[in-house]
């Protein structure tokens, strides 16, 4: 499918500091796209480039198969990391104001907003002032204000920060729902668990470079590198001799409670795993045989440290 | 345009609904009236207790002291002839016994400075005035008596002429009655001063609100959300126009209150005859100036015309200054950072105030004329000139220049704004601002 957003060789230098260096990425339409990276890696700059808030020194941004213009930003919903709401304004009025700013008619906006407020359980806050809300409440308001006009592309900067686990889940559900209704979602986050749960694809930026891009599944499988964990009982020597030539051992074996032993093995990338399983099955009492898929957390740390 | 309208609506309704707006709008005229009335009230009510002054009169026969008349302000007590200052001071040494000791020198008739007032209490203007006036009167009579002329009082009164100029403005109409309008330099000046200060107040107060509003949004990051929903220019214009509307509403309310007060309340309080009587009294006292002020402030048509001009200058001047303030607000992160730029904006305003003070000397001097044309100073200076009766073409040219400048300034400000709103961190230099304007 054609990408909704394509970033081509974008670079941006602030005085004496390169925020983005030749970054490219493609965001597939209808996907949830994670933008990862350590603090100060350049994620927010990249988001600002997409939002037309920062003009890149070189490189291009394509939106819907044309070079992005300032008019396209109305089709993008953006929730900045540092939440911005008018403190003295009433919540409902404010949400209506933002919705109208993005082209909704007043009554349509009120209608839709009330549904959203209801769904996220903040309808009774409609007439309260923003300064009276808790941080999480304000986040919800901001989230609604970002999505209510149903833009094609949604960009959330750290959407989960400041939420308790219950509300994080609520938000995840809503983000998945938005995607199912056709929106494309980009979000930047440090929360790797949420990446595993909801992201289809990711880009990892480190030190202003794109160091890793692709679908989450593929990246994790690749990072696992055909490594398997076997838990068995029986003679360790027989285990070793049975995998000999078909796989290599990784590290030492580990004794587990109940007389079981755990051992990691690596199988050559293009080879079949069935002979390994067959040989093991004959020689030891195999309890489990499982591919090791590293967590995004591991991948993140290894990628940033250059050990992936 | 639609978005500008939305932003204007938000700025306007949010501000107008604030309690502080309602309070300042209603209280400011009251406050101004209080400011005008308070001094005379205090004069009337203040110094209520009568001050006791003991008098040591060293003139032969105590001819001064014996003629001093006690009244509400001062009550005199003449000490017996021969009492020395030392005795009087030691006897009347506290404010409870006497307010002070007045010592009249023996040669006072020839040396009118030989008069001392030794106080036990804080000095009082009204007491001093009372004593000075009384003794002046006594000395005058005594000196006149030396000439031994009959009717000298009447002759002097006759010679003592007070001239009152009735200044009229030739407005070009042929008719004798209609062709001239009464003006008064002093009245015009006071009027001009009030208008100039009002304009100054509005430029600064509301201009600062634009600055503050942009900085606030930048700090709360609302700006990030806003600029992803509209063009920076829309945002800037929306803010400026929204706040301008608030200012306009406030002026209109004030105008209605003041015009209403002069059209209905003053005649009601004083009665039609009251005003005429006040004017007649002022005129008969030779004070055409006061008569003219009273006349002007009760002329609804004149006030309405003045408010129209005021409104035009306020709108133009405000838009001109507000766009500068908006540009600065966008370029900095904190009010502290804005202070330096703010100072630069204030300079022409202060120049305008100084020039405004010079308008009375010659409302048509070249300095005043040019300052009322240059947009940086024209709103304040021209507003101060208008009550003197300025040719319409000058006002028109000045307004046109102001409005063209406003468009140019807005263009420059918008270019700074469009870059500034996205900048965080380091305070930009003038050079940076220049570069932003040129940036494509």
DSSP string for residues in B180-247 = EEEE-HHHHHHHHHHHHHHHHHHHHHHHHHHHHHHHHHHHHTHHHHHHTTS-HHHHHHHHHHHHHHHH
Compute φ and ψ for B282, nearest 5 degrees: -65, -40
Compute φ and ψ for B43, nearest 5 degrees: -60, -40
Instruction: Report the pLDDT value the prediction gives residue B270, as an integer from 0 to 100.
Output: 55
Residues found in chain B: 440
Answer with the residue of higher pLDDT: B9 or B287.
B9
Distance separating alpha carbons of residues B99 and A60, to the nearest angstrom: 90
**Chain B within 8 Å of A54 (Cβ-Cβ)?**
yes
Distance separating alpha carbons of residues B377 and B401, to the nearest angstrom: 12
Homologous superfamily, domain B52-149: Periplasmic binding protein-like II (3.40.190.10)
Q: What is the 3-state secondary structure (H, E, C) of B345-369?
A: HHHHHHHHHHHHHHCCCCCCCHHHH
Distance separating alpha carbons of residues A95 and A141, to the nearest angstrom: 7
DSSP code at position B71: -
Contact call for residues B418 and B237 (beta carbons, < 8 A): no
B337 CA: distance to closest CA in chain A (Å): 20
Encode pLDDT of B59-71 as tens digits. 888 888 888 888 8
Q: Which long-range contacts (CB under 8 A, 24 or more apart) does A279-283 make?
A: A279/A242, A279/A243, A279/A246, A280/A230, A280/A232, A280/A239, A280/A242, A280/A243, A282/A242, A283/A234, A283/A235, A283/A238, A283/A239, A283/A241, A283/A242
Q: Which long-range contacts (CB under 8 A, 24 or more apart) does A173-179 make?
A: A174/A119, A174/A120, A174/A143, A174/A147, A175/A32, A176/A32, A178/A147, A178/A154, A179/A30, A179/A31, A179/A32
Residue B141 token pair: 């009579």
Contacts A86 to B, Cβ<8 Å = 14, 220, 222
Contacts A89 to B, Cβ<8 Å = 10, 14
CA dihedral defined by B382, B384, B388, B392, rounded to 10 degrees? 20
Question: pLDDT tier at B9 (50, 70, 90 boundaries)?
Answer: very high
Sequence ranges of chain A with CATH classification 3.40.50.300: 3-221
Answer with the residue of higher pLDDT: B364 or B37.
B364
- All residues at 6 or more sequence positions from A268 whose CB lies less than 8 Å from its CB, including other chains: A226, A247
Task: State yes or no: pLDDT of B23 exceeds 60.
Answer: yes
The DSSP H or E segment spanning B28 is helix B19-45
Least confident of A73-82, A126-135, B43-52, B199-208: B43-52
Task: State yes or no: pLDDT of B353 exceeds 90.
Answer: no
Q: Once rounded to an integer, what is the mean pLDDT over residues B151-170?
A: 76
Report the top-level CATH class of A3-221: alpha beta
Instruction: Report the pLDDT value the prediction gives residue B401, as an integer from 0 to 100.
Output: 94
The DSSP H or E segment spanning B288 is helix B288-297
Tracing tokens 């995607």 back to the chain, one arrives at: A179
Axis crossing angle, helix B378-385 with helix B185-220, rounded to the nearest 10: 160
Distance separating alpha carbons of residues A134 and A163, to the nearest angstrom: 11
Question: pLDDT tier at A123 (50, 70, 90 boundaries)?
Answer: very high
Give the CA distances from residue A217 to residues A199, A201, B95, B241, in Å, rounded to whole numbers and listed in that order. Answer: 9, 8, 99, 53
Contacts B426 to A, Cβ<8 Å = 15
Distance separating alpha carbons of residues B284 and B286, to the nearest angstrom: 5
Task: State yes or no: pLDDT of A259 exceeds 80.
Answer: yes
Give B24's strand partners: none
Percent of chain B with pLDDT over 90: 6
Contacts B3 to A, Cβ<8 Å = 101
Task: State yes or no: pLDDT of A107 exceeds 90.
Answer: yes
Question: pLDDT tier at B438 (50, 70, 90 boundaries)?
Answer: confident
Q: Once rounded to an integer, what is the mean pLDDT over residues A142-149?
A: 91
Question: pLDDT tier at B258 (50, 70, 90 boundaries)?
Answer: confident
Among A89, A102, A145, whose Cβ lies nearest the Cβ of B14? A89
Instruction: Report the pLDDT value the prediction gives residue A154, as an integer from 0 to 100.
Output: 93
Instruction: Report the pLDDT value the prediction gives residue A91, as an integer from 0 to 100.
Output: 92
Instruction: Report the pLDDT value the prediction gives residue A181, as an integer from 0 to 100.
Output: 92
Among A82, A89, A101, whose Cβ lies nearest the Cβ of B229? A101
Contact at CB, A84 and B217, closer than 8 angstroms: yes
Distance separating alpha carbons of residues A161 and A199, to the nearest angstrom: 17
Contacts B222 to A, Cβ<8 Å = 84-86
Instruction: Report the pLDDT value the prediction gives residue B22, as an integer from 0 to 100.
Output: 87
**Chain B within 8 Å of A73 (Cβ-Cβ)?**
yes
DSSP code at position B427: P
Task: State yes or no: pLDDT of B268 exceeds 70.
Answer: no
**Chain B within 8 Å of A186 (Cβ-Cβ)?**
no
Max avg pLDDT among A46-60, B4-18, B191-205, B408-422: B4-18
Among B217, B224, B230, whose Cβ lies nearest the Cβ of A80? B224
DSSP codes of every residue in B372-426: TTSTTTHHHHHHHHGGG---HHHHHHHHHHHHHHHHHHHHHHHHHHHHHTT--SS
Give the CA distances from residue B424 to residues A12, A177, B59, B414, B439, in Å, rounded to whole numbers and listed in that order. Answer: 15, 35, 83, 17, 18
Mean of per-residue pLDDT scores for chain B: 80
Q: Give the sheet arrangement for strand A76-79, strand by strand.
A: A76-79, A153-157, A184-188, A32-36, A201-206, A209-215
Q: Which fold has domain A225-305?
A: Alpha-Beta Plaits (3.30.70)
Instruction: Report the pLDDT value the prediction gives residue A15, as an integer from 0 to 100.
Output: 75
Mean of per-residue pLDDT scores for chain A: 88
Contacts A84 to B, Cβ<8 Å = 217, 220-226
Question: pLDDT tier at A190 (50, 70, 90 boundaries)?
Answer: confident
Encode pLDDT of A191-201 as tens digits. 888 888 889 99
Among B10, B217, B231, whose Cβ lies nearest the Cβ of A97? B10
Question: pLDDT tier at B44 (50, 70, 90 boundaries)?
Answer: low
Tracing tokens 């007032």 back to the chain, one arrives at: B117
From the centroid of its chain, how far is CA A194?
7
Distance separating alpha carbons of residues B63 and A251, to the nearest angstrom: 127
Task: State yes or no: pLDDT of B46 exceeds 60.
Answer: no
Residue A65 token pair: 């198969």
**Chain B within 8 Å of A88 (Cβ-Cβ)?**
yes
Contact at CB, B224 and A54, closer than 8 angstroms: no
B415 CA: distance to closest CA in chain A (Å): 14
Answer with the residue of higher pLDDT: A202 or B152.
A202
Distance separating alpha carbons of residues A142 and A116, to the nearest angstrom: 12
Least confident of A116-120, A156-160, B169-173, B396-400: B169-173
Among B7, B222, B231, whose Cβ lies nearest the Cβ of A84? B222
Answer with the residue of higher pLDDT: B171 or A231.
A231
Q: Is A85 left (phi over 0), alpha (psi -120 to 50) or beta?
A: beta
Among B224, B230, B231, whose Cβ lies nearest the Cβ of A84? B224
Question: pLDDT tier at B152 (50, 70, 90 boundaries)?
Answer: confident
Q: Find the residue in A nearest to B423 (Cα).
A: A54
Distance separating alpha carbons of residues B148 and B136, to the nearest angstrom: 19
Compute φ and ψ for A238, nearest 5 degrees: -65, -35
Instruction: Report the pLDDT value the prediction gives residue B25, as an integer from 0 to 100.
Output: 85
Instruction: Report the pLDDT value the prediction gives residue B398, as an integer from 0 to 100.
Output: 93
Contact at CB, A74 and B229, closer than 8 angstroms: yes
Sequence ranges of chain B with CATH classification 3.40.190.10: 52-149
Instruction: Report the pLDDT value the prediction gives residue B272, as an integer from 0 to 100.
Output: 54
Tracing tokens 């009169």 back to the chain, one arrives at: B57
Q: Which long-range contacts (CB under 8 A, 24 or more apart) does B80-85 make?
A: B81/B57, B83/B56, B84/B56, B85/B56, B85/B118
Q: What is the 3-state secondary structure (H, E, C) of chain A?
A: CCEEEEEEEEEEEECCEEEEEEEEEEEECCCEEEEECCCCCCHHHHHHHHCCCCCCCEEEEEECCEECCHHHHHHEEEECCCCCCCCCCEHHHHHHHHHHHCCCCHHHHHHHHHHHHHHCCCHHHCCCEHHHCCHHHHHHHHHHHHHCCCCCEEEEECCCCCCCHHHHHHHHHHHHHHHHCCCEEEEECCCHHHHHHHCCEEEEEECCEEEEEEEHHHHHHHHHCCEEEEEEECCHHHHHHHHCCCEEEEEEEEECCCCCEEEEEEECCCCCCHHHHHHHHHHCEEEEEEECCCCHHHHHHHHHHCCC
Percent of chain B with pLDDT over 70: 81
Residue A100 C-beta-side C-alpha neighbours within 13 Å: 20
Instruction: Report the pLDDT value the prediction gives residue A110, as an integer from 0 to 100.
Output: 94
Q: What does the buried/exposed string (b/e) look like for A170-188 if buried means 16 or more CB atoms within 10 Å of the residue's CB? A: bbbebbeebbeeebbbbbb
Instruction: Report the pLDDT value the prediction gives residue B185, as an integer from 0 to 100.
Output: 67
Task: State yes or no: pLDDT of B280 exceeds 90.
Answer: no
Contacts A80 to B, Cβ<8 Å = 221, 224-225
Q: Find the residue in B nearest to A50 (Cα).
A: B228
Instruction: Report the pLDDT value the prediction gives residue B7, as an integer from 0 to 100.
Output: 92
The dihedral of CA B197, B202, B203, B208: what is its sign?
positive
**Chain B within 8 Å of A102 (Cβ-Cβ)?**
yes
Contacts B225 to A, Cβ<8 Å = 78-80, 84-85, 98, 142, 145
CA angle B136, B101, B43 (to 5 degrees): 60
Instruction: Report the pLDDT value the prediction gives residue B175, as an integer from 0 to 100.
Output: 58
Encode pLDDT of B170-221 as tens digits. 666 665 555 555 556 667 777 778 878 888 888 888 888 899 998 888 888 8
Sequence ranges of chain A with CATH classification 3.30.70.260: 225-305
Answer with the residue of higher pLDDT: A257 or B240.
B240
Encode pLDDT of A157-186 as tens digits. 888 888 888 888 999 999 999 999 999 999
Contact call for residues B239 and B11 (beta carbons, < 8 A): yes
Percent of chain A with pLDDT over 90: 28
């Amino acid at each position: 499918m054609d990408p909704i957003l394509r970033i081509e060789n974008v670079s941006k230098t602030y005085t004496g500091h390169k925020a983005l260096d030749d970054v490219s990425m493609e965001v597939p339409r209808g996907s949830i796209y994670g933008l990862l990276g350590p603090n100060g890696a350049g994620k927010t700059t990249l988001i600002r480039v997409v939002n037309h808030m920062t003009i890149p020194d070189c490189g291009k941004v394509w939106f819907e198969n044309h070079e992005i213009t300032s008019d396209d930003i109305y089709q993008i919903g953006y929730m900045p990391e540092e939440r911005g709401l008018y403190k003295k304004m009433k919540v409902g009025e404010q949400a209506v104001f933002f919705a109208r700013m993005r082209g909704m008619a007043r009554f349509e906006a009120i209608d839709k907003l009330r549904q959203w407020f209801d769904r996220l359980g903040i309808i009774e806050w409609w007439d309260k002032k923003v300064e009276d809300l808790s941080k999480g409440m304000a986040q919800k308001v901001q989230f609604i204000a970002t999505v209510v006009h149903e833009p094609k592309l949604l960009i959330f900067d750290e959407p989960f920060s400041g939420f308790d686990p219950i509300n994080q889940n609520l938000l995840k559900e809503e983000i998945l729902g938005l995607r199912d209704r056709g929106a494309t979602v980009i979000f930047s986050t440090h929360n790797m668990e949420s990446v595993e749960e909801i992201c289809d694809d990711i880009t990892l930026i480190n030190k202003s470079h794109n160091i890793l891009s692709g679908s989450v599944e593929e990246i994790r499988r690749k990072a696992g590198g055909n490594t398997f964990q076997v838990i068995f009982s029986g003679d360790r020597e027989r285990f070793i001799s049975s995998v000999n030539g078909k796989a290599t051992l990784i590290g030492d074996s580990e004794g587990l409670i109940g007389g079981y032993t755990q051992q990691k093995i690596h199988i050559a990338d293009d080879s079949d795993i069935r002979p390994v399983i067959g040989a093991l099955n004959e020689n030891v009492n195999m309890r489990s045989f499982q591919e090791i898929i590293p967590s995004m957390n591991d991948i993140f740390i290894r990628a940033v440290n250059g050990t992936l | 345009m639609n978005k500008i309208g939305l932003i204007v609506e938000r700025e306007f309704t949010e501000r107008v609904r604030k309690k502080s707006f309602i309070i300042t709008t209603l209280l400011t005229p009251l406050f101004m009236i209080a400011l005008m009335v308070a001094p005379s009230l205090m004069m009337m009510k203040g110094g209520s207790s009568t001050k006791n002054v003991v008098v040591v009169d060293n003139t032969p026969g105590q001819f001064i002291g014996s003629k001093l008349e006690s009244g509400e302000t001062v009550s005199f007590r003449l000490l017996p002839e021969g009492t020395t200052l030392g005795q009087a001071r030691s006897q009347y040494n506290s404010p409870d016994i006497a307010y002070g000791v007045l010592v009249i020198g023996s040669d006072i008739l020839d040396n009118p400075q030989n008069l001392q007032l030794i106080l036990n209490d804080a000095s009082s203007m009204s007491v001093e005035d009372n004593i000075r006036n009384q003794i002046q009167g006594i000395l005058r009579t005594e000196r006149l008596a030396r000439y031994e002329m009959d009717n000298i009082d009447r002759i002097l009164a006759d010679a003592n002429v007070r001239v009152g100029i009735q200044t009229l403005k030739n407005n070009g109409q042929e008719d004798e009655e209609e062709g001239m309008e009464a003006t008064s330099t002093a009245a015009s000046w006071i009027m001009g001063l009030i208008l100039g200060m009002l304009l100054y107040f509005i430029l600064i107060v509301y201009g600062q609100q634009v600055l503050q509003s942009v900085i606030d949004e930048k700090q709360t990051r609302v700006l990030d959300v806003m600029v992803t929903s509209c063009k920076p220019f829309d945002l800037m214009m929306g803010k400026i126009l929204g706040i301008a509307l608030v200012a306009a509403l406030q002026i209109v309310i004030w105008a209605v209150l003041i015009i209403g007060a002069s059209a209905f309340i003053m005649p009601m309080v004083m009665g039609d005859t009251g005003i005429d009587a006040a004017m007649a009294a002022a005129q008969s006292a030779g004070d055409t100036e006061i008569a003219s002020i009273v006349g002007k402030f009760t002329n609804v048509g004149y006030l309405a015309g003045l408010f129209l001009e005021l409104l035009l200058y306020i709108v133009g001047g405000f838009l001109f200054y507000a766009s500068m303030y908006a540009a600065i607000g966008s370029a900095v992160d904190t009010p502290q950072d804005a202070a330096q730029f703010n100072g630069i904006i204030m300079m022409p305003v202060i120049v305008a105030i100084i020039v405004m003070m010079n308008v009375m000397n010659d409302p048509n001097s070249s300095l005043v004329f040019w300052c009322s044309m240059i947009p940086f100073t024209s709103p304040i200076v021209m507003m101060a000139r208008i009550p003197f009766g300025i040719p319409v073409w000058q006002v028109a040219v000045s307004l046109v220049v102001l409005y063209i400048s406003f468009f140019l300034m807005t263009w420059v400000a918008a270019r700074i704004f469009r870059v500034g709103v996205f900048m965080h961190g380091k305070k930009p230099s003038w050079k940076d601002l220049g570069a932003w304007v040129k940036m494509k």
